[in-house]
Amino acid sequence: MSPIPFEHGLIVAGILFCLGIVGVLTRRNIVFVLMSLEVMLNACGLAFIVGAARWGNADGQVMFLMILTLAAAEVAVGLGLIIQIYRRFHTVDINVLSQMKG
Amino acid sequence: MTMTMTWSDLIPLLPILLSTGTVVIAMLMIGIRRHYALTAAITIIGLITAAIAALVLMPDTNSQITPLLIIDKFSLFFSFVVCIAGLFIAILSFPYLYTLGDHREEFFLLIGLATIGGLVMVSSNHFVSLLLGLETMSMALYGMIAYPLHCRDVSKYPLEAAVKYLVLSAAASAIMLFGMALLYGHTGTLAFSSLSENSAGLAVASGSWLSTVGVLFLLSGIAFKLSLAPFHLWTPDVYEGAPLPATAYLATVGKAAMFVALVRFIEITDALSIASVLSVVGLLAMASMLIGNLLALLQNNLKRILAYSSIAHMGYLLIALIASYFVEGSLSIEAVSFYLLAYVIMTLGAFGVASVVSSSQKEFDVIHDYRGLFWRQPWLAAIFTAMLLSLAGIPLTVGFIGKFYVFFAGVESGLWVLLGTLVLGSGIGLYYYLRIVFRMLMPIKEQVAYKEAGIESLTSYGVLAILFLLLVVLGVYPAPVMTLLESAASLMG
Amino acid sequence: MTILFYLASAIAIISTLCVILQTNIVHALIYLILSLLAVAVIFYVLGAPFAAVLEAIVYAGAIMVLFLFVIMMLNMGQHTRDQEKSWLSARGWIAPGVMAGLLLVQLLSVFAQIDQDLSGQRIDVMAVSGLLFGPYVLAVELASILLLAGLVSAYHLAKK
Amino acid sequence: MLDLIWLLPTFPLLGFLILVLSSGQLSKKVVALVGAGSIGLSFLVAALIAVEFLNSGAEFYSMTAWTWMSVGQFTPGFTFYLDGLSLVMMLIITGVGFLIHLYSTGFMIDDPSYSRFFSYMNLFVASMLMLVLADNLVLLYLGWEGVGLCSYLLIGFWYDNPANGAAARKAFVVTRVGDTSMALGLFLLFAQLGTLNIQDLMGAAEANWTSGSGVAVAAALLLLGGAVGKSAQLPLQTWLPDAMAGPTPISALIHAATMVTAGVYLIARTHILFELAPTVQLLVAWIGLATLLMAGFTAMTQHDIKRILAYSTISQIGYMFLGLGVGAWSASVFHLMTHAFFKALLFLGAGTVILSLHHEHDIFKMGGKRKQLPVAFYSFLIGSLALAAFPFTSGFFSKDEILLGALALEGPGTWLWLGGVVGAFFTGIYSFRLVFVVFFGESQAHHDDKEVAGWNMAGPLFILMVLSLLGGFIHIPVESVFNHGEAHEEHHVSGLIHGIMIAVPLLGILVAYLFYGGRQLSADKLMANPLAAALHKFWFSHWGMDALYNTLFVRPFVYLAKLNRLDIIDQCYGLVVTLSRAGHGLLAKLQNGMLGWYAASLIFGLVLLMTLGVLL
Amino acid sequence: MIIVLLISILFFGGVLAWLAEIIDPRLPRLVALLAVILDFLVMLTLLGADADGAWLVSFTADWIARFGITIYFAVDGLSLLLILLTAFLGVIAVGSAWTEITERTGFFYFNLLWTLAGVVGVFTALDLFLFFFFWEVMLIPMYFIIAIWGHENKQYAAMKFFIFTQVSGLLMLIAILVMAYLHYSQFGAFSFRYEDLLNVETSGALGYWLMLGFFVGFATKLPSVPFHSWLPDAHSQAPTAGSVILAGILLKTGAYGLIRFTVPLFPEAAMEFAPIAMTLAAISIVYCAKVAFGQDDLKRLIAYTSVSHMGFVTLGVFAWNEQALQGAIMTMLAHGLSAAALFMLAGGLQHRIHTRSMAAMGGFWAQVPRMSVVALFFSIAALGMPGLGNFVGEFLALLGAFQANITLTTISALGLVLASVYSLWVIQKVFHGAFTGDSDQQGQLLDLDRREMCYFILMMLGLIWMGLYPQSFLALSEPVLDGLLSSSSELFAALGRG
């Protein structure tokens, strides 16, 4: 088995990260935005695992665990907020949230 | 380096442990029986003990607790600041939330949790603890920002603010994490100290593109949290939409803890020795000073003004941080520390004044609301004026000494362009601070119906008085604090 | 194994692409789960079986189910597809695409300069848990506080 | 006795203080007593001092009251310096001054601001005495400015009429131009010679500077600037005719007898300096000549009784300058004195005319007043004779000396003399034109009041008449002042020259008679000629000088001041404000509240940082 | 210690005045008056003080050891003159506010006294940090005075005043800090003390920039073209007492700074810069005189004349010889009185006819003869009439400047002519001519009352004293100037300037 180059792992993470960004920027449905955020966070986790694989230490995996925790908490709070938005505005369009400006 | 915990490690962790205990007790309390005043009291007492613990530990504690946390004079000083700020905000939020038509007790839980996050951040010298501290605080802040969202009669948009903050902050965290991942990939370690020199001989400051990009990603994320231009757009909306105590918390502890962590990261890893990072930070500073001040110029909403001005203040702070790269010695770190302290005092004061006249139903956050305050409540107006003048950096106030420090650090390092921008920015800044002062001096035409100050507000006035005293005392006789900071900062130099 | 890596990577990327392009939210969620599973495979290939399992269980399992809950709760079925379509104009893709593309190009050009192989060393549960209960014990505690904060916030926000 | 010299300016100053501090509470009698009495006392002291000084035979006497300021080498004091020149001046000022004060007690009796008038007058005399008694140029400058101030105050005495105010300001500002030049002269002298004490200065100048050296020329020129301003010579003469807006005694005292001759005094005082700068000295002569001719032409065309006298004053001071320029120092001072007598007489006479005719100034609205106003008539007759240098009147001797001095000068002397003679011809014409028009011919019906002339007005007139007639026989003791500079050898002058100098003024009087006395010639017919009419108009406007200055200086200044009322520099700062506001507007637009936009900015920032990181 | 006492009296007097309002709104003015008079009397005791080294009295205490900052006050003849002027005008200012300020009197006198305290601090502080501290402290109460008791456009004026002085002050702060740092790098310790900083080597380009920092700070306060444009607004909007303090004293702090700090600290740079500074001075003199003439607002006009007159100070300072410096100092003192008086008059007029527009004035002489005489007196003082203080100052300044630069002195001397143009124009427009006010005002304008006359007569006597016997003032500043000049004379000789 030929070893996988480190940079290839990073490239995959990078691509996923950028796709997440595109998702956050383009979607108006807040659920999609949240999902794209998960993609970004996941890409970060991947990058850590890739790093861990390069150095052969477990720190990266610990970090991945923390990201996992973070992602879970964030989704919980985020989804809570989505429910409130939907209750109040009966839509999931983030553009309704633009009453403050200037 | 100690790899695992021992019992003796628990002593330095006392501030964190005490606040955690506070949160747990308060939560249990709520579980048993909801009692507003009692929950508040538990939180306040807990934070006081945590602050006292930090103070007591400060003189001679210097220990690394597992790779994650470092408890030294520097972190304890800011632990103290964080606890006190949290405490003051807890006191201020008591009357503010008094009339909220919803569960009010959780707010204190959230304050406690956020404070734990802050404590972890100021003590962290490891990516894991940094991430956890930061996100703990963010989680709590999401809750605090959106806190009154169930009430139909709130005048603000807590929901909008919370969503904006959550989405953007999560994105920024992701960017930061990606940066951390790149740095980890480059060095194979997550501890700041080994990022600079590790067994593989790869340091952050090695100048390789991977580490540069990693630092830049990390910096972008931090810049967002500190709302440096051009990452500042979220700031005014979140400040405006959030209830005043939450805004105050975000503006003070949120900024200060992040900055302390940034200082530690920069100082330990020597990241500024990467030329492009140095120039990027310089540009961030300049952009923040100019854009922040310009944005505040004609703004009529007090919270937004303070949001914009915080952008500028973070820019000022960056000058001192940059200076630390150029000159040996601890002066610029002292400058950062003192300025942060000053910034916390005066920002808390300014938000505090707004919060004592406001309630969760009706916030008075348009500067016109303060018209004639000077003749209605002279002492409140005097405190407010002092806070604003301090923000503007006028002598007799702590803000002046802070600015003096920054100037001195900049001069020492010869950062003329940045200092020039600082002067320009300060000039613009005067305008909008004085605008508010002028509003207060105007004759009273129509009475603005402020919140009736009941017995529950007494402590808030006490907090304001303490802040005012601090402002003046530190502005006139800062020597003792300077001595303290000198020894604290020397650990970083 | 190497082939598996590239295969899984390709699946992850393509299905993620589908997530952000999808107008049907349930389909999107399924693509996301697919992507997460593919990443789990990558983890496994890279010698992190523990992470792979967690990715599959917690991420693709628990978190995604949360999403599903909300989608069901908000009743975002077929009728929202048209709305989604109308929200996704071609023009709206340009700026994000350009920015993300630029970022990606920069990242790739940096990554291209690295010439480093992965160790391929397997890090099993023992190693990870050794760390978690050794030097990172505080991290675990702090993570619990993080979850607590999330819990309190979510509890307060999501209630009626 | 000599050490009482400080009393000279002190009496008038005390008078001034009493009048000012009483702020109009005193009765007119007391005011008159204080106002005129203080000058009288001064005159008394001056006379006593003069007697003692002349008897003592000393060349000079000086006393220091106190050191004004002492800054390094610069140590001017309040020091009084008495020599022949200042003695003459002091006597003229106190003597003629007293007469005019006395006259004023009657002339101004109906004026509500009686006390204000005398307070200004007293301050003026005090300043004037300071000027002539000063031993250093700074103190002289104090007096110099003081008299200018009083001149301003008195020209604008009737402040109700804005025209008077304008005239007063014009007088002050125009002379201030000269004064500034003089101040610069002082700076130059101090910078070069390290002192401003006049005697030391002259000694040092003689010792250090060669004749015609650049510094000497510059210093003399700058002082000359001051002199022409104060003495209303070209090119700063335009203020004097307008200055006639003040009460007539003022015109007599300030704008005829004393202040306007301060320039002559200054040049005489610093004559050594001018001798060191021969070109400047010659310039003085030419200025004098040009002024006297120009003013002579103008005087012939005026209708206003006081303006005629004013131009005549300018012209006569021109003679003095001519004298100074040719080195006839004592002749100039002599003319200064005689001019003080007869011009004071003329003005006071004019004052009587004006007062009696209810402030009528136009001579063509008078006529045949010989009988009605006898005192005025004789005043004018005698004054005009002296002015026109009718033989053996005071003016004859002094003007004669000046012209002879001019003739004595090598080179341009003849031309200067010729010009002076022509000027004398004009003098004859305009002075008697006035006499014939006002006092002869047909009486105008609407003015037929009695002459207003109490003893206090008539008395001074009589004394001045005597002085005008006989003043030529007074010997002024100035030899010791000028002895080293003046040409001592008697010039032999042919009888023809003498004849011409006697005949020309008579010729002028004859011409005046032909036109205005006997009406053998008609001015109106002359005016029918377009060229003559144009010339008349041109001369009447005093050669268009006022218009010229208006166009050159006044209007552009006023225009610029109004144009830049908002201060262009301030507006530049306004630009900064505008820019800031624009910046704010632009940046605030970015805060559009859209979450997607904010997220984009976040990513944009990241990309920007990355790009910068790569570039930098 | 006596200096601390001087400042404390004013500080606590201010607090007391504020509190006194609770008892009776007319009490604060009495408290203020007493405080200022007491201060003045205490200062008089300094006149007899024996010189202790270079200083008559001095006071030192630790403050911020970290930066070598001390509380260091000292008084020499120069500062003594200026603090005497401060207290004197303080009395006048209290007097001018006596009846004009009827609202919130306590706070007003509090601000007034604190401004004075700040100014006394500026004139006596010799630790540069302390100096800067007071420099800023005096601004805030002044801001309040303008912002609360000012006229129609007070916000703009107060803001402009504050921003101009602050921004320039920050530039000065940078320069001060660099000096402290240079002291550190040359002597191994931070210091802000005046004597220490005098030893700092400041040649070269850095010195030039530092000097510019100080210059901008002081020139803005002075003010000199092109930093002057805050002054007309501040003056026209400030209440009378504010204008008195502003024109009489605050402007002098700029001049004081130039003499005390800018040139002595950076002799070489200052000499290099002198032609430019003197050019700015000449432009100030002529340009602002011209602009003054174009004004319709009486207070604006006087404000521009202030700029014009302060040009003589700049000119004198940068000519840097004994006559010029004495001239500058005398101009400061005399202008302090004459400008204050003119502003009081303008304020008095505004109080009576509720406008500052000269278009609405005219022919007031017959209505208010005493006021007219007083106005006449101070106008002619302003135009430099010998025998009054302004003349001594301007004459000496020009005399000294002439030795340094003939061309610029000549241009500046034009100011003497222009001064007469605008001064007399004011007299003509306001007091002479026919009465042009509202017809119902005729005969109703109140002339100056006895109390007001008292203040004016005091100031007149002051000006006459300065004009006729300036020696009593010159003698105080002479030893100071001798010291300054002797320390720089060698250097200038080397640079080819005497």
Instruction: State pLDDT tens for residues D120-159.
Output: 999 999 999 999 999 899 999 999 999 999 989 888 888 8
In D, what residues contact A, Cβ < 8 A? 588, 591-596, 599-600, 603
pLDDT in tens, B370-390: 988 888 888 899 999 999 999
Q: Do D592 and A101 touch (CB under 8 A)?
A: yes
CB-nearest to A9 from C28, C104, C118 is C118
C146 touches chain D (CB under 8 A): no
Average pLDDT, integer, range B37-41: 93
**Percent of chain A having pLDDT more than 90?**
64
Which residues in chain A have their CB less than 8 angstroms from residue C28's CB?
Answer: 32, 35
Q: In the D/E pair of chains, how many CB contacts fall below 8 A?
A: 139
How high is the pLDDT of residue B256?
Answer: 96
Which residues in chain C have their CB less than 8 angstroms from residue B194's CB?
Answer: none
Query: To 5 degrees, how large is the angle CA D522–CA D524–CA D527?
Result: 120
Average pLDDT, integer, range B99-122: 93
Other Cβ atoms within 10 Å of D207 Cβ, number: 8
E227 within 8 A of E165, measured Cβ to Cβ: no
Distance CA C103, CA C109 (A): 10
Alpha-carbon gap: B405 to the closest alpha carbon of chain A (Å): 33
Average pLDDT, integer, range B152-171: 88
B171 within 8 A of A24, measured Cβ to Cβ: yes
Of D43, D35, D40, D106, the residue nearest D456 (C-alpha) = D106
E255 within 8 A of E166, measured Cβ to Cβ: no
Average pLDDT over chain B reads: 91
Average pLDDT, integer, range B322-343: 91
Confidence category of residue E493, pLDDT binned at 50, 70, 90: low
How high is the pLDDT of residue D484?
Answer: 59
CB-nearest to B184 from A33, A37, A60 is A60
What's the token pair of residue D33?
A: 């007593």
Which residues in chain B have their CB less than 8 angstroms from residue E166's CB?
Answer: 392, 394, 426-427, 430
The ipTM value here is 0.92
Q: Do E232 and D570 touch (CB under 8 A)?
A: yes
In a domain, C31, yes or no: no
Query: To 5 degrees, how large is the angle CA E376–CA E334–CA D259?
Result: 50
In a domain, C136, yes or no: yes
One-letter amino acid of B281: V
Distance CA D424, CA E413 (A): 39
- Long-range CB contacts (within 8 A, 24+) of B432-435: B432/B293, B432/B296, B432/B297, B432/B298, B432/B299, B432/B305, B432/B309, B433/B309, B433/B388, B433/B389, B433/B391, B433/B392, B434/B388, B434/B392, B434/E143, B434/E158, B434/E159, B434/E162, B435/B367, B435/E155, B435/E159
Q: Do D607 and C95 touch (CB under 8 A)?
A: no
| pLDDT surpassing 90 at residue B280 | yes
Confidence category of residue E498, pLDDT binned at 50, 70, 90: very low
How high is the pLDDT of residue C78?
Answer: 67
Instruction: Give the residue from chain D lying closest to B209, CA to CA.
Output: D614
Q: Do D600 and A25 touch (CB under 8 A)?
A: yes
What's the token pair of residue D216?
A: 């000497």
How high is the pLDDT of residue D551?
Answer: 85
D565 burial (CB, 10 Å; 0-12 / 13-18 / 19+) is middle
One-letter amino acid of A32: F
Touch of E by C (3+ CB pairs closer than 8 Å): no
pLDDT in tens, B438-483: 989 888 877 777 777 777 788 999 999 999 999 999 999 999 999 9
In B, what residues contact A, Cβ < 8 A? 127-128, 131-132, 135, 139, 142-143, 146, 149, 157, 159-164, 166-167, 170-171, 173-175, 177-178, 180-182, 184-185, 188-190, 200, 236-237, 240-241, 299, 301, 304
DSSP structural state of residue E223 = T
Q: Do B423 and E148 touch (CB under 8 A)?
A: no
Instruction: Give the residue from chain B lying closest to E133, CA to CA.
Output: B395
| pLDDT surpassing 80 at residue E441 | no
Which residues in chain A have their CB less than 8 angstroms from residue C63's CB?
Answer: 38, 71-72, 75
Q: Do A101 and B237 touch (CB under 8 A)?
A: yes
Q: In the A/D pair of chains, how many CB contacts fall below 8 A?
A: 28
In a domain, C35, yes or no: no
Q: Is E470 helix (H, G, I), strand (E, B) or coil?
A: coil
Which residues in chain D have their CB less than 8 angstroms from residue E293's CB?
Answer: 557-558, 561
Which residues in chain A have their CB less than 8 angstroms from residue D603's CB?
Answer: 21, 25
In a domain, C95, yes or no: no
pLDDT in tens, E50-97: 766 678 888 999 998 888 899 999 998 899 999 999 999 999 999 888
D321 within 8 A of D291, measured Cβ to Cβ: yes
In a domain, C130, yes or no: yes
How high is the pLDDT of residue C77?
Answer: 66
CB-nearest to E403 from D166, D176, D191 is D191
Report the run of H or E that residue E425 belongs to, with start and end.
helix E406-426
Distance CA B303, CA B239 (A): 6
Q: Do D176 and E416 touch (CB under 8 A)?
A: yes
Dihedral angle of Cα D352, D356, D358, D361, to the nearest 10 degrees: -50
* Dihedral sign from CA coordinates of E293, E299, E302, E307: negative
DSSP structural state of residue B366 = B
A53 touches chain C (CB under 8 A): yes
pLDDT in tens, E411-434: 999 888 899 888 888 888 888 877
How high is the pLDDT of residue D444?
Answer: 66
**Stated pTM of the model:** 0.91
Q: Do D609 and B234 touch (CB under 8 A)?
A: no
Distance CA C51, CA C125 (A): 9
**Percent of chain E having pLDDT more than 70?**
96
In a domain, C17, yes or no: no
Which residues in chain D have their CB less than 8 angstroms from residue B279's CB?
Answer: 612, 616
| pLDDT surpassing 60 at residue E495 | no
Could you tell me the CA-to-CA distances from D349 to D295, D448, D457, E452 in Å, in that order? 21, 17, 9, 45
Average pLDDT over chain D reads: 85
B338 burial (CB, 10 Å; 0-12 / 13-18 / 19+) is buried
Q: Do D599 and A25 touch (CB under 8 A)?
A: yes
pLDDT in tens, D275-329: 888 889 889 889 999 998 888 888 888 888 888 888 889 888 898 998 888 888 8
**Percent of chain D having pLDDT more than 90?**
13
pLDDT in tens, B168-191: 999 999 999 999 999 999 998 999
For residue D62, list its beta bridge partners: D81
Of D139, D49, D45, the residue nearest D97 (C-alpha) = D45
C151 touches chain A (CB under 8 A): yes
| pLDDT surpassing 50 at residue D252 | yes
Of E388, E422, E170, the residue nearest E285 (C-alpha) = E422
Summary count for chain D: helices (H), strands (E) = 27, 2
Q: Do B174 and A40 touch (CB under 8 A)?
A: yes
Number of domains in chain C: 1
Domain ranges of chain B: 10-491
**B469 Cβ contact partners less than 8 Å away, ≥ 6 residues apart:** none
DSSP structural state of residue B369 = G
Which residues in chain C have their CB less than 8 angstroms from residue A14's CB?
Answer: 104, 107-108, 111
D205 within 8 A of D272, measured Cβ to Cβ: yes
A4 within 8 A of C118, measured Cβ to Cβ: yes
Q: How many residues are listed for chain E in this entry?
A: 498
- Which of D587, D594, D606, D610 best tests the A interface by mutation, with the highest count of A CBs <10 A? D594
Report the run of H or E that residue E86 belongs to, with start and end.
helix E77-97
Confidence category of residue B1, pLDDT binned at 50, 70, 90: very low
Query: To 5 degrees, how large is the angle CA B278–CA B283–CA B288?
Result: 130
What's the token pair of residue D396?
A: 């004859």
In E, what residues contact B, Cβ < 8 A? 62-67, 104, 129, 132-133, 136-137, 139-140, 143-144, 147-148, 155, 158-159, 162-163, 166-167, 170-171, 173-174, 177-178, 180-181
CB-nearest to D598 from B168, B217, B295 is B168
pLDDT in tens, B438-447: 989 888 877 7
**Percent of chain D having pLDDT more than 70?**
97
Q: Do D613 and B168 touch (CB under 8 A)?
A: no
Distance CA D264, CA D230 (A): 9
Of D289, D291, D311, D288, the residue nearest D299 (C-alpha) = D311
Which residues in chain A have their CB less than 8 angstroms from residue D594's CB?
Answer: 95, 98
Print the domain residue range for C158: 122-160
Which residues in chain A have their CB less than 8 angstroms from residue B366's CB?
Answer: none
A73 touches chain C (CB under 8 A): yes
How high is the pLDDT of residue B345?
Answer: 96
Distance CA B240, CA B233 (A): 12
A19 Rama class: left (phi>0) / alpha (psi -120 to 50) / beta: alpha
Which residues in chain B have their CB less than 8 angstroms from residue D606's CB?
Answer: 175, 216-217, 220
CB-nearest to A47 from B157, B181, B240 is B181
Alpha carbon D347 to chain centroid, angstroms: 15
Report the run of H or E that residue D545 belongs to, with start and end.
helix D545-549
C3 touches chain A (CB under 8 A): no
Q: Do A48 and B167 touch (CB under 8 A)?
A: no
Confidence category of residue D494, pLDDT binned at 50, 70, 90: confident
B262 within 8 A of B160, measured Cβ to Cβ: no
Average pLDDT, integer, range B122-126: 93
Distance CA E367, CA E353 (A): 12
The full 3-state SS of D553-588, as one line of letters, equals HHHHHHHHHHHCCCCHHHHHHHHHHHHHHHHHHHHH
Of D259, D449, D429, D430, the residue nearest D354 (C-alpha) = D449
Confidence category of residue E496, pLDDT binned at 50, 70, 90: low
Average pLDDT, integer, range B69-86: 95
Instruction: Give the residue from chain C lying closest to A94, CA to CA.
Output: C87
In a domain, C100, yes or no: no
> In A, residues 33-72, which contact D (CB 8 Å cutoff)?
33
Distance CA B243, CA B93 (A): 9
Q: Do B188 and A51 touch (CB under 8 A)?
A: yes
Touch of A by D (3+ CB pairs closer than 8 Å): yes
